Structure 1
Amino acid sequence: MGIETSVANKKVKQVCELAKDKIPIPNSKLNPKTNTNSKGKRGRRRRHHKKMVAVSPVQKLFNTCNEVFDSCSTGIIPSSDNIQKLKAVLDNFKPADVGLFPEMPHFQASVAGRTPVIRYLHLHGCDKFSMGIFCLPPSGVIPLHNHPGMTVFSKLLFGTMHIKSYDWVADVPATKQAEVRLAKVKVNSKLTAPCSTSILYPTDGGNMHCFTAVTACAVLDVLGPPYSVPDGRHCQYYLDFPFANFSVNGVSIPEEEKEGYAWLQEREEPEDLTFVGELYEGPAIVEK
């Protein structure tokens, strides 16, 4: 086989040499400096150029999370550069990037008198981070809960949502008589898409928050590290009470600031809270 190929190549070369002598090449297509056909060279260069493959936004998000949370563990916050890198990816995220739109059944209003069902689309989960989307119909509520030792990125893809979040007041321990602990309000306002990505940290940024859908909403959540009971990262729910409801020795707040504080009390997961897992049908994620 190798001999036959060699002979064939020699014959092709001879034919080309003869053709070059007999077929005139118009001077207008010659490069005066090199006396070669420059258009042909450019064409050959283009043929050898590697074809670029577009990366979908959700794949870019996955790749970025892999990098940002590579050394992630409980209480470890990514570097500020990595925080901004991941935030920049999420800030540009759109519902279509994950195959969502408000008219989908996930976001239909619940039957009157029934607690709205929250649907969850799981995108990825590993011991370093998780990616998922919460789909809330109008009036849907994700009750007040925490994110122990975690850094969380939340991107409202569409809709209007009310967010209330708290951070613990570090120098005030839990009271024994009512098992409540003082927390400071971090956010208490509505958010409407398009908007910037919200970020919370293990001890700052509103680690405990509650979402209430004013309209149908979709929230893309990235958690690093994810919830894990064996690793001490259990999701805990809370009730919140006005500061004036409890009196604790040594704890006083000026009257005009009291609305900025509340007492939080641990509770069991609400019985009427319903999460339903749905199949993610958006662009595929290649987990390398």
Structure 2
Amino acid sequence: MDKRDEAKSAMELVNIPPIVSIYRHALHTFDDRYKNDLLINLEKLKSMMDFLKADDLGYDNNLKDEALWRQPDKAPCTYIEVFQNNQINMSIFVLKPGFKMPLHDHPHMHGLLKVISGAVKIRSFSEYPLKQDVDPIEFQSVARKEATRLASGYHKRRKLFAEVTCEKVCSETSSTCTLTPTVSNYHELEALDMPAAFFDILSPPYDTLIEGIGPRRCRYYSVTNEISTNVVELQETEVPKCFYCDQAPYLGPILG
């Protein structure tokens, strides 16, 4: 390689779009071959996302127009798929002013969320008592019971105690929020007085299989009882009728 080629190669590395770098590192982070380094790679991925801007994703500024969200046929949430395979889902959600994305879970998933436009109030919960680690034998037993219950066609709604682990307002300048299979795995998000958008990465994506149970399904909840200042009782509910999405195209750098 001559000097001109070396200079071109170096320039290409410097000019890699931030979302491309994040995409590549996300694939690395959640690759089973590197699972021993998951925590280190997750922290690096979070740091990279901390600097992500709406322009890096080709975000359509028309979605910031409040008049758009006042149209009678406009869904309260717009979904933009950035990338998905069997390892990760990268997407953007845009919420109309004042709209709350209902409380929902992320079964056996890791997640990272970065607000890129407007401001979002986030309230997160962890199942209580908090379990940092899951006993494999206990998990297998629960998985077998869950699989049997689902196979029989009988769906009893879940009820659980949960600890409030996060309650804050995040804006474009805020750092990335994270969730794990056991920590802050349940959350609700509410746009404030203007349209708000956030970019997130989930791994594995919804609908991928949990061994011994079946596909990951997003379940919705309501707070039925305030046990204390930071512990509540959650009851699984139907998908709220107020929550539905339309779709918009991803306009950022090509991935994959």
Q: TM-score range by the shorter chain?
A: 0.7 to 0.9
Residue 160 of structure 2 is aligned to residue 199 of structure 1: no
Identity of aligned residues (%): 27
After superposition, the Cα gap between the structure-2 partners of 1:105 and 1:79, relative to the gap in structure 1 and judged at 3 Å, is closer
Quote the Cα distance in structure 2 between the aligned partners of 1:264 and 1:283.
Answer: 40
Match of 1:86 in 2: 45
Quote the Cα distance in structure 1 between the aligned partners of 2:188 and 2:46.
Answer: 21
TM (norm. structure 1) is 0.69
Match of 2:82 in 1: 123
The correspondence for 2:196, drawn from 193, 211, 217, is 217
Residue 241 of structure 2 is aligned to residue 271 of structure 1: yes
The SS at the match of 2:32 is coil
Quote the Cα distance in structure 2 between the aligned partners of 1:130 and 1:136.
Answer: 19
More RCO (CA 8 Å, sep 6+): 2
Count of residues in Structure 1 that have an aligned counterpart in Structure 2: 222
Shift of 1:95: 0.7
After superposition, the Cα gap between the structure-2 partners of 1:278 and 1:77, relative to the gap in structure 1 and judged at 3 Å, is farther
Match of 2:143 in 1: none
* Structure 2: gaps spanning 5 or more residues: 132-156
Quote the Cα distance in structure 1 between the aligned partners of 2:203 and 2:232.
Answer: 27
Residue 219 of structure 2 is aligned to residue 236 of structure 1: yes
TM (norm. structure 2) is 0.77
The correspondence for 1:111, drawn from 52, 55, 70, is 70
Segments of 4+ moved more than 6 angstroms: 112-115
Root mean square deviation of aligned Cα: 2.9
Deviations 1:231-276 (CA, angstroms, capped at 9, x unpaired): 33110000112325xxxxxxxxxxxxx1211110001111121111
After superposition, the Cα gap between the structure-2 partners of 1:115 and 1:166, relative to the gap in structure 1 and judged at 3 Å, is farther
Deviations 1:54-93 (CA, angstroms, capped at 9, x unpaired): 2111111111111111118xxx796221011111210110
Letter in 2 for 1:104: N
Match of 1:282 in 2: 252
Residue 149 of structure 2 is aligned to residue 188 of structure 1: no
Residue 22 of structure 2 is aligned to residue 61 of structure 1: yes
Shift of 1:168: 0.7
Which structure carries more strand by proportion? 2
After superposition, the Cα gap between the structure-2 partners of 1:47 and 1:260, relative to the gap in structure 1 and judged at 3 Å, is closer
